[in-house]
Chain A
Amino acid sequence: MAQMKFMCDAERCIECNGCVTACKNANDVEWGIQRRRVVTLNDGEADEMSISVACMHCDDAPCMAVCPTDCFYKTDDGIVLHDKDLCIGCGYCLYACPFGAPQFPQQNAFGERGKMDKCTFCAGGPAETKEEEYQKYGSNRIAEGKLPLCAEMCSTKALLAGDAQDVADIFRQRVVHRGHKDGAWSNNPQASTDNLAYDAARKG
């Protein structure tokens, strides 16, 4: 059983937005919604840094915990998916999500937001037919044995996707090669490169 994770190596990300485009294209995402975004901190300064963010498929997902309809579920691969037939567009997942992943097609009076949309790790979602699945959630590349297109198309291989262990191994090699004592992580011993599922909220 895999434990799917994304990881963006901030030292490699060049904010080309290729991942954003790849995602839009692979999943035919609704107008106005961008499942993946690239954030740049200190743009134009010496310590500029960019990072690509989408749903991080948390182990202890806050969206799942606060959803009033209980429309989220976790696949055997650790991917957090949601049922758009159950979603009422209350926006609670957006309040709770650490990464700003959930988005809504509308933002109208009386809390009319439409159905929430977010990254599916290219794993589709619950639907009767393949066509319905594609129309509601986008492509299901995982079912075809492929990884999310954003990571597959990343030109600098900053964005990594796959089983947490594999991703951690790749990242560890890079860190060793770079000669950093603790890589891109903080000095927190619990946030080691071996433990990508580290939950910062636990404040160990």
Chain B
Amino acid sequence: MTTLTMTKVPSRAPSGTASWLQRGWRLCLMLVLLVASLGVTHMAVAQADPDREMTTAAPGITADQWRQVRSGETGPNYRDSRHESNYNLINASGETWRILRNRWVSPFGLIAIGGMAAMIALFYFIVGRKYLEEPRTGRKLLRWSLLMRALHWTVATLFITLALTGLNLLLGKFVFRTLFGDAVWAWMIAASKVLHNYLGPIFGVLLVIMLISLIKENIPKKHDWVWFKKGGGMIGKGHVDAGFANGGEKAWYWLLASVGILVVASGFVLDFPNFDQGRDTMQWANIIHAVGALGLTAVSLGHIYIGTLGTEGALEGMTTGYVDETWAKEHHNLWYEAVKDQTVSEEELAARKAGGSGEPSAAKPS
């Protein structure tokens, strides 16, 4: 190949004897090389074939390059003609996200929530409601101040709204689109997204405020461990010790303080794309958000059941703010022991309300 190209090189214009001599010498060399090259004529002829030349002219795209593309790798000399060029050629993690969301989070989230609801229903029909063992004394204890009740119900309403709209975003299309048709569905899903995105941050802020204001009552104590071992009093005889918050309530508190905060944080990542966080960040934020939120929704069913239907005398604490002395003694004995001198009779309470002397703060151990 080398020899062939050399013969084609045009000689420079002669200038004087020296160059003539040089040229003669060069010619000799060329002749020698030409003779030598006869041995490789076959190869040389093949190389001259234009079709074959084409194959070697441009470097082909190698399998390695396609592997580079597939891996989602970019490198310093990566160019994208689009103005936001922070996306690689292939979104390699997109399929992982899709599988996690569609094959794991969606069905198992539904199983978790449905399973929890079924378990609670089963528990209700077999064990039934937890009634007060002694008759009510008629004397009341202030458990939740107006501010705490307002905070609780605001957070609760937001939680339920977010749970329902979130579930609609995850699973609604399998039910409501075929059920109601496109016109209603379009409105429904658009409202879900707007509610979820605008109420979410409010929920996050209020949750943090609620967690801070309740932290003192929820610091784990030794008796909480006993409370758990005895299943909150269901295993074995007699009452289990509990302060202002029992073991179960504390577990719910710390679940909200950990998973709840994680859900809020990942929600902020998803809700504010204006900070230019990438696709990959949002994929992970979405998985954390969905898993955490579905788990909390499932557990919240337990909290709602115990606070309303499951326990006699519990709901009135969060609605009126006051609980009966008997309820306090049976469910929160340590708290009762500390605050039993602060009980008020129903008449006194009515008089206080009529007098409009405002809300006293919740009974706290002095």
A residues with CB within 8 A of B:
10-11, 15, 17, 20, 32, 34, 37-49, 51, 53, 62, 65-70, 83, 85-86, 88-92, 94-100, 107-113, 177-180, 182, 184-187, 200-201
Contacts and interface: CB of A to CB of B under 8 A. Distances in A.
Q: Which 9 A-B pairs have the closest CB atoms?
A: A40-B79, A70-B173, A37-B82, A43-B77, A179-B55, A100-B87, A38-B81, A88-B193, A186-B63
B75 A42 contact: yes
A34 B87 CA distance: 13
Contact of B283 (A86, A95, A186): A95
B65 A41 contact: yes
B98 A11 contact: no
A61 to B, nearest CB: 10
B190 A88 contact: yes
Interface of B: 51-52, 54-55, 58-63, 65-70, 75, 77-83, 87-92, 94-95, 97-98, 101-102, 168-170, 172-173, 177, 182, 185-186, 189-190, 192-193, 197-198, 201, 270-274, 276, 279, 282-283, 286
Contacts of A94: 279
B13 to A, nearest CB: 36
B273 A96 contact: no
Given A65-B98, A68-B173, A86 B189 contact: yes
A108 B182 contact: no
A111 B83 contact: no
A113 B94 contact: no
A151 to B, nearest CB: 17
A185 B66 contact: yes
A90 B81 contact: no
A48 B77 CA distance: 9
A100 B65 CA distance: 19
Contact of A184 (B61, B87, B170, B197): B61
A111 to B, nearest CB: 5
Nearest to B81: A38
B188 to A, nearest CB: 9
Contacts of B97: 66, 95-96
B80 A39 contact: yes
Given A41-B89, A186-B67, A17 B173 contact: no
A97 B54 CA distance: 36
Given A41-B75, A41-B78, A66 B102 contact: yes
A45 to B, nearest CB: 6
Contacts of A95: 94, 97, 279, 282-283, 286
Nearest to B103: A65
B177 A70 contact: yes
**Residue in A41, A62, A70, A85 with the greatest tally of chain B CB atoms within 10 Å:** A41
A85 B68 CA distance: 38
A62 B87 contact: no
Contacts of B197: 110-112
A69 B77 contact: no
Contacts of A32: 83
Contact of A99 (B52, B77, B91, B98): B91
Contacts of A39: 78-81, 89
B185 A62 contact: no
Contacts of A185: 63, 66
A68 B105 CA distance: 14
Contact of B61 (A10, A90, A200): A10
Contacts of B169: 68, 90
A48 B168 CA distance: 46
Contacts of A42: 65, 75, 77-78
Contact of B101 (A49, A66, A112): A66
A17 B95 CA distance: 28
A90 B192 CA distance: 11
Contacts of A51: 69, 89
Contact of B170 (A45, A53, A68, A111): A68
> Among the interface residues A62, A95, A108, A184, which one has the most CB atoms of the partner chain B within 10 A?
A95
A71 to B, nearest CB: 9
Among A46, A69, A109, the most chain B Cβ lie within 10 Å of the Cβ of A69
Given A62-B94, A95-B94, A178 B274 contact: no
B65 A96 contact: no
Contact of B89 (A53, A85, A89, A182): A53
Given A62-B94, A86-B182, A97-B91, A41 B69 contact: yes
Nearest to B285: A95
A36 B185 CA distance: 31
A126 to B, nearest CB: 10
Contacts of B98: 62, 65-66, 96
12 contacts: A11-B61, A40-B80, A45-B77, A46-B59, A51-B89, A66-B97, A90-B169, A92-B286, A96-B98, A111-B271, A184-B60, A186-B66
B318 to A, nearest CB: 31
B94 A98 contact: yes
A96 B97 CA distance: 7
A160 to B, nearest CB: 15
Contact of A100 (B63, B91, B276): B91
